[in-house]
Structures are given as C-alpha cells and as structure tokens.
Amino acid sequence: MSMQGKFITLEGVDGAGKSTHLGFVADWLRGQGREVVVTREPGGTPLGETLRELLLHQHMDPDTELLLMFAARQAHLAQLILPALARGAWVVSDRFTDASYAYQCGGRGIPAERIAALEAWVQRGFAPDLTLLFDVPPEVAEARRSAARAADRFEREADSFFSRVRNAYLDRAQAEPARIRVLDARHTIAELQMELGQLLQGLA
Ligand code: TYD
C-alpha cells in the first residue's frame, strides 16, 4: 500500500470565506487519524513568507508577480509539500496554482500559456487531489472584504478584477470537475461543513 498522503487546496476570491473553512477541513481529517499539515500560498516556507510580504504590499509588474508566485511555489513544493506527502501526511493549502490562473491570468490578463509553462516546469505534472472552490457573487465577497481588516494589494482591486478572477476559477472548475468542487459560499457555515464532510469522505 502506498504511504503517499493527499493534497487538498482551498480557493476562492478574497472575501469568499475560505479561510474560515481551512480549520474545519484540517480537523475533519485529523479526526480520521491522519497527520495533517496546514499551509498557505504565497508562503509556507521562510522564503515563501518573505516573498508573500512583497507580493501583498510591494508594487510590481504583473510578470514579476507571477514569477515570484512560482518562485515561492517551487520552494513550498520542494521543502514542505512533497516531503510531507511522501511521509504519508495530508497537506491542506490555503490557495495553490489555480489562484495563479485566476488572479494573474484572469485578473491581470497574463496569457494562460505562460502560467502553464511555469506550472509544467515547477510541478512536473503534480496537482492537488482535491480543490475546494468557495464561490460567491462579487457583491457578497465585496461586502465581506470591506468588513475585514486593512486591505492588501489584491484586496484593493476593483470589482471588475474580482469578477474576472471568479470567472477564471469557474472556468477551471468546469474544465476539471472531478478535481475542483465548487461550493456555494453563500450557504451557512453549518451547511458548508456538511457539504465539506461529504466531499472529504469521498476522498478518504
Ligand atoms: P489570501 O489567501 O486571501 O490570504 P488572506 O486571507 O490572509 O488575505 O491572500 C493571498 C493573496 O494572494 C490573494 O489576494 C490572492 C493572491 N494570490 C495570487 O494572486 N496568485 C497566486 O498564485 C496565489 C497563491 C495567491
């Protein structure tokens, strides 16, 4: 039997509420007796967290932003994600490469082929086993964002930016329905936890 753990990612526009559900997903898996590593992108390693600070607060070109996202991702994979999976742990990440397609391609307008080239280089075919996409209409996400703490560089973007990000996420979910499961993030937390439990059951 393979020792390999599974890799689960959470995605959604800023304000969709995915961070609220990260702890639930991790606790649910721990309840099944799994070792769980919780992490995030950009970030997850000391270098990645330093890059995150820059990415969230420093003005830069879209291409610089994309390259730094993948620089952080390469370190994250090599130092944290792949070693954890190899020892049998399950890894739950707040965002991964779908966010690059949604934000840098959908949001910023970088051609998808550039992201695909970096993905092929850095991931060599590696992809999440399950991606939970928390989807909400732009106005709901906007209301949740403005209620939250000081906005970073992404959170200050216009509504049209987030509409493009959302549509890019939904296009990806349509192209890969087995991996990317869309959850209606307007549902109550209790409803979403029930839906999450069912999805995780299918994977465990
Ligand atoms: P986010 O995950 O929303 O964290 P928090 O809940 O602390 O605000 O913030 C990360 C930001 O980085 C988010 O706005 C999306 C952006 N991002 C990209 O643009 N591309 C990527 O590839 C990744 C991983 C994140």
Give me the residue spans of the domains in the chain: 7-203
For residue 91, the one-letter residue type is V
Q: Is the CB of 44 under 6 A from ligand 1?
A: no
Give the three-state DSSP class for 10: strand
Instruction: Report CA(183)–ligand 1 centroid distance (Å).
Output: 19
Amino acid 200: pLDDT: 96
How far is Cα 120 from Cα 94, in angstroms, rounded to an integer?
21
Counting as low any pLDDT under 70, the low residues of the chain are: 1-2
Residue bearing tokens 């059951």: 201
Per DSSP, the three-state class of 109 is coil
Our mutation pick for probing the ligand 1 site, out of 93, 152, 157, 164, counting the most ligand atoms within 8 A of Cβ, is: 152
Residues in the chain: 204
Check pocket membership of 69 for ligand 1, CB cut-off 6 A: yes
Amino acid, single-letter form, for residue 21: H
Question: To test ligand 1's pocket by mutation, which of 19, 20, 39, 41 has the most ligand atoms within 8 angstroms of CB?
Answer: 41
One-letter amino acid for residue 204 of the chain: A
Provide the pLDDT for residue 204. Answer: 73
pLDDT at site 15: 87
Percentage of residues of the chain with pLDDT beyond 90: 86
| CATH superfamily to which 7-203 belongs | P-loop containing nucleotide triphosphate hydrolases (3.40.50.300)
Beta bridge partners of 11: 133
CA of 27 to the centre of ligand 1 (A): 22
162 lines ligand 1 (CB under 6 A): no
Decide if 11 contacts 98 (C-beta within 8 A).
Answer: yes
Q: 41 CA to middle of ligand 1, Å?
A: 7
Predicted pLDDT of residue 123? 98
Closest-CA residue to 12 (of 200, 173, 156): 173
pLDDT score, position 2: 57
pLDDT for 138 equals 86
Ligand 1 in reach of 106 Cβ (< 6 A): no
Query: Quick one: which of 25, 10, 17 has its CA closest to 186?
Result: 17
